Amino acid sequence: MSFVESFQRFAHYNQLMNQSVYNAAALITAEQLIENRGAYFKSVLGTLNHILVGDIHWFKRFAQHESQPDMLDYFVNHRLPQSLDEIMYADFTELRRSREIMDQQIISFTAALSDEVLASTLTFRSSKGLEFTKNFGFVLQHVFNHQTHHRGQVSTLLFQMGVDVGVTDFFVLVPSE
């Protein structure tokens, strides 16, 4: 399996797990969704918004890459969140719809990846204005890891409320030989 295929599989896993998490979150009340549960981003809604905010920041940076992937126009045209804890969508239905669109955009983006792009560098500014130049593939790997990390937090918050997200292992998408 190539690195490109690996990222394509991560994009599909990302979509599948987001669907599972959002389906589980839809089972709790609106009050439970926004309740401060002591998590870093306070609530289920806050953490789901943070994942979205992170994706917007990162994919706007990817769009600045010399390969200029056209399929990232959605992110280029999206409003840049002002902080990592910004609640972009207080309405769960709107948040979910935005997540679904972004997941499809991420799948399209990975479908157009090449080994050359993954091996290239990406120069970007952090939210604090610091400039970095990093390997494109490793930065993309970080983005998927970031989502997995925070989905795990949401899964724990939901489990504490009696809602099980179900199987979240990447292994589910590993084909049998």
Chain segment 44-96, per-residue pLDDT in tens:
999 999 999 999 999 999 998 888 667 788 888 888 898 899 999 999 999 99
Helices (H) and strands (E) in the chain, counts: 7, 2
Segment 161-167 shows an average pLDDT of: 93
Q: What is the SS3 string spanning 119-142?
A: HCEEEEECCCCCEEEEEHHHHHHH
- Host domain of residue 77: 3-168
Residue 174: inside a domain? no
Alpha-carbon distance of 83 to 131, in angstroms, equals 18
Residue 173: inside a domain? no
Alpha-carbon distance of 168 to 66, in angstroms, equals 35
Segment 141-146 shows an average pLDDT of: 97
**What local confidence, expressed as pLDDT, does residue 25 receive?**
98
**What local confidence, expressed as pLDDT, does residue 68 receive?**
67
**What local confidence, expressed as pLDDT, does residue 64 receive?**
86
Residue 31: inside a domain? yes
CATH of the domain at 92: 1.20.120.450
